Structure 1
Amino acid sequence: MKKLMILWVAFFLQNSSAIFSQTTSDSLLPIRGFCIAAPQSSQLDNFIKFIKTELAPRHVNRLILRVDYNYQFESHPELRNPQALSKKEVKKLVAVCQDNQIELIPQINLLGHQSWASTTENLLKVYPQFDETPHVQMPEKYVWPNPDGLYCKSYCPLHPDLHAIVWDLVDEICDVFQAKAFHAGMDEVFYLGDSKCPRCSGRDKAELFAGEVNLIRNHLALKNRKLWIWGDRLIDGKTTGIGEWEASYNNTHRAIDMLYKDIIICDWHYERPEQTAVYFASKGFSVITCPWRVPQNAILQTQDMRKFRQYANPEMKERYLGMMQTIWSGAESFIKEYYDTSNIQDPQKSQKATFIGLFNEINQVK
Structure 2
Amino acid sequence: MKKLLFSIFVLLLSIGGLQAQTKLDTLLPVRGFCIAAPESNEIENFIKFINEELAPRQVNTIILRVDYNYEFKSHPEIRDSLALSRKDVKKLVKACQQHNIHLIPQINLFGHQSWATKTYSLLRVYPEFDETPHVKMPAKYAWPNDDGLYCKSYCPLHPEVHKVVLALVDEICDAFESKAFHAGMDEVFYIGHDKCPRCKGHDKAELFAGEVNLIRNHLAQQNRKLWIWGDRLIDGKTTGIGEWEASMNNTHRAVDLIAKDVVICDWHYERPDPTAVYFAMKGFNVITCPWRKPRIAVTQTQDMLRFKEIAPKDMKPRYFGMMQTIWSSNKSFLEEFYGIKVNEKAGENTSAQCFRAMFDEIKKVNTP
Query: Under a length normalisation based on structure 1, what TM-score does the superposition of the two structures give?
Result: 0.96
1:82 counterpart SS class? coil
Structure 2: distance between partners of 1:172 and 1:9? 48
Alignment-mate amino acid for residue 234 of structure 2: I
* Corresponding residue number in structure 2 for 1:307: 306
Q: Map residues 64-75 of structure 1 onto 2, 5 A cutoff.
A: 64-75=63-74
Q: Distance in 2 between matches of 1:240 and 1:262?
A: 24
Deviations 1:255-313 (A, max 9, x none): 00101000000000000001000000000111000000000110110011111122211
| Partner residue, 1:84 | 83
Give SS of 2:315's match. Answer: helix
The code of the aligned residue for 1:122 comes to S
Partner of 2:215: 216
- For the 8 Å contact 1:21–1:363, the answer to whether it is kept is no
Q: Alpha-carbon deviations, 1:60-103, whole Å to 9, x = none?
A: 00000000011100111111111211001111111110010000
Q: Does 1:360 align with 2:363?
A: no
Q: Hey, what's the Cα distance between the residues in 1 that align with 2:348 and 2:251?
A: 33
Instruction: For residue 56 of structure 2, give the secondary structure of its aligned residue in structure 1.
Output: helix
Distance 1:8 1:272 in 2: 48
Tell me if structure 2 keeps the 8 A contact 1:291–1:297.
yes
Match in the other structure for 1:140:
139
2:324 corresponds to which residue?
325
Distance, in Å, in 2 between the alignment partners of 1:16 and 1:147 is 63
Asked whether the 8 Å contact 2:228–2:263 carries over to 1, the reply is yes
What is the alpha-carbon distance in structure 1 between the residues aligned to residue 117 and residue 15 of structure 2? 53
1:224, 1:11 → 2: CA distance? Answer: 38
Q: Distance in 1 between matches of 2:185 and 2:354?
A: 24
In structure 2, how many angstroms separate the alpha carbons of the residues matched to 1:20 and 1:85? 39
One-letter identity of the residue aligned with 1:256: V
Amino acid paired to 2:253: R
Q: Where do residues 260-299 of structure 1 align in structure 2 (5 Å cutoff)?
A: 260-299=259-298
Corresponding residue SS for 2:141: coil
Aligned residues: 365
Matches within 5 A, 1:146-161: 146-161=145-160
- Structure 2 equivalent of residue 28 of structure 1: 27
- Aligned letter for 2:363? N
Q: How far off its partner does 1:333 sit? A: 0.5
* CA positional deviation for 1:23: 3.5
Amino acid at match of 1:287: V
Pairwise CA distance, 1:20: 5.9
Q: What letter corresponds to residue 99 of structure 2 in structure 1?
A: N
Q: Provide the rounded CA distance (Å) in 2 between the counterparts of 1:255 and 1:342.
A: 42
Moved more, 69-78 or 342-351: 342-351
- The alpha carbon displacement at 1:21 in A equals 4.8
User: What is the match of residue 240 of structure 1?
Assistant: 239
Name the CA distance, whole Å, in 2 between partners of 1:303 and 1:342.
30
CA drift of 1:344 comes to 2.1
Name structure 1 gaps, 5 residues minimum: none
**In 2: Cα distance, 1:330 partner to 1:77 partner:** 23
Match runs of 1:9-48 below 5 Å: 9=9, 21-48=20-47
The residue identity in structure 1 corresponding to 2:164 is I
**TM alignment of 1:247-258, pairs within 5 A:** 247-258=246-257
Distance 1:131 1:9 in 2: 65
Q: Percentage identity across aligned positions?
A: 66
Deviation at 1:213, TM superposition (A): 0.4
- Which range is displaced more, 341-350 or 113-122? 341-350
Structure 1 residue 127, shift from structure 2 partner: 0.4
Letter of the structure 2 residue corresponding to residue 43 of structure 1: E
- Within 1, Cα distance between the matches of 2:221 and 2:341? 49
With structure 2 as the length reference, what TM-score do the two structures score? 0.96
AA aligned opposite 1:93: L
C-alpha contact (below 8 Å) 2:47/2:92 kept by paired residues: yes
Once the two structures are TM-superposed, the CA of residue 331 in structure 1 deviates from its matched residue by 0.5
CA distance in 1 between counterparts of 2:207 and 2:343 reads 42
> In the TM superposition, what is the alpha-carbon distance from 1:25 to its structure 2 partner?
1.7
CA distance in 2, matches of 1:155, 1:8: 62
Mapped to 1, the partners of 2:296 and 2:185 lie a distance apart of 24
Q: Which secondary structure does the structure 1 equivalent of 2:108 belong to?
A: strand
Deviations 1:101-150 (CA, angstroms, capped at 9, x unpaired): 00010000000000001100110010000000000000011100111110
Q: Contact 1:64–1:104 (CA<8 Å) still a contact in 2? A: yes
Tell me the equivalent position of 1:125: 124
- Contact conserved, 1:37 with 1:328, CA < 8 A, in 2? yes
**Aligned residues of 2:131 and 2:193 also touching (Cα < 8 A):** yes
Aligned residue type for 1:361: E
Amino acid at match of 1:347: G
Q: Following the alignment from structure 2 to structure 1, what is the Cα–Cα distance between the partners of residues 57 and 87? A: 27
Contact preservation (8 Å) 2:335, 2:341: no
Quick one: distance in 2 between partners of 1:289 and 1:171? 27
